[in-house]
Every structure is written in structure tokens, then in C-alpha cells.
Amino acid sequence: MSPSMCKPNLLLLAAALLPGVAEVATAQGDAVDAPVEKPAVLYASPLGALAGQTTKVTLRGLHLQNATAVHWRAYAEDAQASDDKRPQVKFLSAGAAAPPNGFTPAKAGDSEVVFELTAPDSLANAILQLVVETPGGESTPLALRVDAPANVVLETEPNNGFAQAQQLSLGQTVLGVIQQAKDVDVFRFAGDAGQTVVCEVFAARLGSPADLHLMLFTATGQLIDATDDQGNNRDPRLESKLPARGEYHLVVLEAQDAGGNPFPYRLEVRK
């Protein structure tokens, strides 16, 4: 028997020995199997959900385009919690989503899943473990915090300058997104003379590709402090003593001028 006659049979035999495969066609026209890629979730946008409300969430990752479901796994409490303590997930869509220019799929994903998460009030400050289901299997769980609405400000455009700065109070957390390339988010808060404030970003630590920079100004535009990376941590943290009683402006920008839905962040402003 010639080698060309043996080749298809060898391919079929090899495919039969490989688990987790999908059918494709060979050059000879025979059906064989090829590996199905396991999904991986890199991060969520926004980087949090609100208790007592429905939050639209996008999960970015690899090999998610054929996802069929999103579900949650047990949190710190009893997995058999009553219905009023169980989050509800409504699957909306899944599809390919190329990473922004200059970013690899490994960094910003090549696909995404969109769903609505309704978390009851009783889940405030809980951490949910979200799993995506695809023909290639289930993703590793991704942690998503459920925040109490009273402690959270949803970043709202336009807030691109001092005149449009979004109001927040010390002790609140901002759920934000760098909406587009060269986008700048500006927030304002009131402080007292000699008061120390801490402004800290959580983005890279939660999987976001955003590389952010923080700048703190007085109401008249005088720069007080600025910060970028902290060693190997790309998330900036700024701690400053306020020079006088009054209003201050906090500026968040992407260090590489990148932006878009894949660039979420959490910003804590506290005493």
C-alpha cells in the first residue's frame, strides 16, 4: 500500500486518541479532529457590580466567542443560599473582539462575553466567582466584587477637564473606564488643610490592560502631586497632605494614551 493511501487512516487514528477535539476536514477531504481551545477570562469591565441593582458586565478573554453561558460559583457564604441571596445571571452575547492597536490578545483578549448580573442587597461587599462555559470547557473562575451602591461612583462622561470634573466624596470608589484614546477622567472632592488623602488605582492587579497615571491639583490648577507605577505594580497610588481647605481635582489618564471599553479601572479616594 502506498504512503498516500495510509496517511488519512493514520490521521484518523491519531485524532481518535486525542480527547476534547472538534471535527475538521483534511486536505484529502476526510473528516478528522482538531483540538478545541479552552477558554480563559482575563478581566471584567466594569471591575465591579452593584448590590441591589443590575449591572451589565463584559468579560474579555481568549476563546470566548462561542460561549454558551456564564454562571457563578459559591462565594464565601453557603452555596445553597436562599433565592434572595443568589445572584441572577442573564447571558446576552458572545463574539470575537480584537484587541486595541498595540495590544496582544494575551494582554487584552481576542473575544468577549456580555451578560447582566443582578446581585441582591445581601451580597454587598461579597466576591463572586464567575465562570464562562464554551464547547472547549469552562474557564478558570474570575473574581468580581459586589459593591454597596452608597460607596460607589460610576464614572460618567463628559468629565474631561476641570470645568466638567465629576463630584465624589472621600471614602468612595469610582468604577471607571478610559473610554477612548487620549481620554482623561477628572474628579473633584473637598478636603481640609493638613488632611492626608490616599488615591489608589486598581486596574492591572485585576487584569485590566490599563496603565494609568494620577495627578492631584488644587482648584486653581496648581499641581500638588503625581504618580505612575509603583515598582513592578503598574497601578498608581498617591498619598498627599492637602495644603488648604477647599476643592481639589484628581486626574486619571492612560500613560500610553490608549483607551476603549477594554480599559476599566477602580479608583479609591480615602482619608
**pLDDT over 80 at 127, yes or no:** yes
Which is higher by pLDDT, 231 or 94? Answer: 94
CATH 2.60.40.10 in the chain, residues? 40-147
pTM: 0.84
Q: What is the mean pLDDT of residues 151-159?
A: 95
In this structure, how many other beta carbons lie within 10 angstroms of the beta carbon of residue 221? 8
Give, rounded to a whole angstrom, the gap between the first and last alpha carbons of the chain. 81
**pLDDT over 90 at 53, yes or no:** yes
**DSSP-derived pairing of the beta strands 166-167 and 184-191:** parallel
Q: What is the pLDDT of residue 83?
A: 64
Q: What is the pLDDT of residue 271?
A: 92
Q: Bridge partners of 51?
A: none
Please state, in angstroms and rounded to a whole number, the distance separating the CA atoms of residues 74 and 72. Answer: 7
**pLDDT over 70 at 80, yes or no:** no
Q: What is the pLDDT of residue 187?
A: 98
CATH 2.60.120.380 in the chain, residues? 151-270
Secondary-structure class of domain 40-147 per CATH: mainly beta
Peptide bond into 158 cis (omega under 30): yes
Q: What is the mean pLDDT of residues 108-130?
A: 96
Q: Are the C-beta atoms of residues 23 and 31 closer than 8 Å to each other?
A: yes
Grouping H, G, I as helix, E, B as strand and the rest as coil, residue 128 is: strand
Least confident of 81-85, 107-111, 171-175, 223-227: 81-85
Q: Which residue has the cell 499641581?
A: 223
In the structure, what pLDDT confidence band is assigned to residue 31 with cuts at 50, 70 and 90? low
Grouping H, G, I as helix, E, B as strand and the rest as coil, residue 122 is: helix
In the structure, what pLDDT confidence band is assigned to residue 77 with cuts at 50, 70 and 90? very low
Please state, in angstroms and rounded to a whole number, the distance separating the CA atoms of residues 46 and 263. Answer: 9
**pLDDT over 70 at 20, yes or no:** no
Least confident of 22-31, 54-63, 205-214, 238-247: 22-31
Q: What is the pLDDT of residue 4?
A: 40
In the structure, what pLDDT confidence band is assigned to residue 75 with cuts at 50, 70 and 90? low
Q: What is the mean pLDDT of residues 258-267?
A: 88
Least confident of 24-28, 204-208, 262-266: 24-28
**pLDDT over 80 at 28, yes or no:** no
Domain 151-270 has CATH 2.60.120.380: yes
Q: H/E/C letters for each residue in 62-75?
A: ECCCCCCEEEEECC
Which is higher by pLDDT, 21 or 44? Answer: 44
Distances (CA, A) of 184 to 116, 187, 195, 248, 256: 27, 10, 26, 16, 12
Q: What is the pLDDT of residue 230?
A: 79
